Structure 1
């Protein structure tokens, strides 16, 4: 690889990591807005959402330019393909953070709905999955990515349990329907964030092991 090619790959990596850092910050603020009932955190997420969108466009431009000028093969080819996919997942995580922030602002206008389900626990697992997926990318730890893929089922289970409780709440307390509906949408957004974290983990595994593990049984991955 030429020094120019190496520099361009470094630019793609640095831009992707900046995007990942912003997405992590927006996710953390959105969850704080929800759990701490703080509208100022929600405002910050919405105001800065365009930064992630701009970085996604920049990553794609850098990837296209690199492919057009270097015709990469092997791991360099996998890297640029994976970088484009990860940037898309990061942008969608940012979008889900905005969704949570907006819903949190809506929920904050009414007294909190009492639930048996531990929503902060669900949020924590999804956030940890995302953080670990980015660490896998940075540290080139493909094996660690497998655990992240498997943990997605835990968040799916949380989503089902919370949905069942909220639907029952709507039946028992018609006056709580607006709040319960908002919480259903929050749960769905958190579940989607976990899905995107899983996607990133699968992409990292492909990058470092040259093996596509998407759509395979969670127990059959090695």
Structure 2
């Protein structure tokens, strides 16, 4: 009987590890999608942009598989700690799926951006994108290691991303006011920048779920927020 119990426990642990591996794989795929989207903007590569858009289906499929795996774990009758693992996994999968959507949207808009002359503001967008991608890489590592302190550092750094986004937002508004021909391409850049800011928010969500995984409902410290685009003027 004891041997059978040990076998069941080991099987359950193996399934939890497989779930974690699947989520990390999904997250790294989303990072790759984001980095590829940023690269096609700089290279003005329409074919590569279309590949990024098409690859979003693979991330969607992984989310569906993770949801299936979670349902299977729930049916095994998890304990309270295991329920935190399962709930966090569902939330993290949803955040990663949205990040994949934003990366695909950035690639789609790059196709329209290619029809206009290159804008100098693309460099600012690249800086914002690199920071968002690093946030995602760091929070995935915190999730893999169940490192609450590392997760809090990612969460705190979202303020830096917000500051960069607000600065780029103001810069683009000013440029649009000075040159009416820039309105269309700058509008696409504004949407792309907002997508990157939202990716940072989803990385923050993942960080908070790492905290929840370790500490349960224990309150998180206050977070500095610096997205001032809603009140920004040129």
TM-score, normalised to structure 2, is 0.86
Q: Report the Cα distance in structure 2 between the residues aligned to 1:131 and 1:211, rounded to whole angstroms.
A: 25
Match of 1:191 in 2: 197
The answer to whether the Cα contact below 8 Å between 1:33 and 1:105 also exists between their aligned partners in 2 is no
Q: Deviations over 1:70-90 (max 9, x none)?
A: 23322x221111111000000
Q: Report the Cα distance in structure 2 between the residues aligned to 1:128 and 1:2, rounded to whole angstroms.
A: 36
Match of 1:96 in 2: 102
The answer to whether the Cα contact below 8 Å between 1:117 and 1:165 also exists between their aligned partners in 2 is no
Match of 1:114 in 2: 120
Deviation at 1:202, TM superposition (A): 1.0
Match of 1:43 in 2: 50
Which of 1 and 2 has greater Rg?
2
Gaps of 5+ in 1: none
SS of 1:110's equivalent in the other structure is: coil
2:91 counterpart (85, 89, 97): 85
Match of 1:22 in 2: 29
SS of 1:128's equivalent in the other structure is: helix
SS of 2:143's equivalent in the other structure is: helix
Q: How many residues align?
A: 217
Q: Report the Cα distance in structure 2 between the residues aligned to 1:217 and 1:13, rounded to whole angstroms.
A: 28
Q: Structure 1 residues 10, 109: CA separation in 2 closer, same or farther (over 3 Å shift)? A: same
Q: Deviations over 1:129-156 (max 9, x none)?
A: 0000001111222101111111111111
Match of 1:72 in 2: 79
Q: Deviations over 1:108-140 (max 9, x none)?
A: 222112339722221111111000000111122
1:180 counterpart (181, 186, 191): 186
1:153 counterpart (150, 153, 159): 159
Q: Report the Cα distance in structure 2 between the residues aligned to 1:140 and 1:164, rounded to whole angstroms.
A: 38
1:63 aligns with 2:70: yes
Gaps of 5+ in 2: 1-7, 225-234
Deviation at 1:211, TM superposition (A): 4.4
TM-score, normalised to structure 1, is 0.91
1:210 aligns with 2:216: yes
Q: Report the Cα distance in structure 2 between the residues aligned to 1:55 and 1:116, rounded to whole angstroms.
A: 31
The answer to whether the Cα contact below 8 Å between 2:49 and 2:107 also exists between their aligned partners in 1 is yes
Q: Deviations over 1:17-76 (max 9, x none)?
A: 2211211111111111112322233122111111111111111111122112223322x2
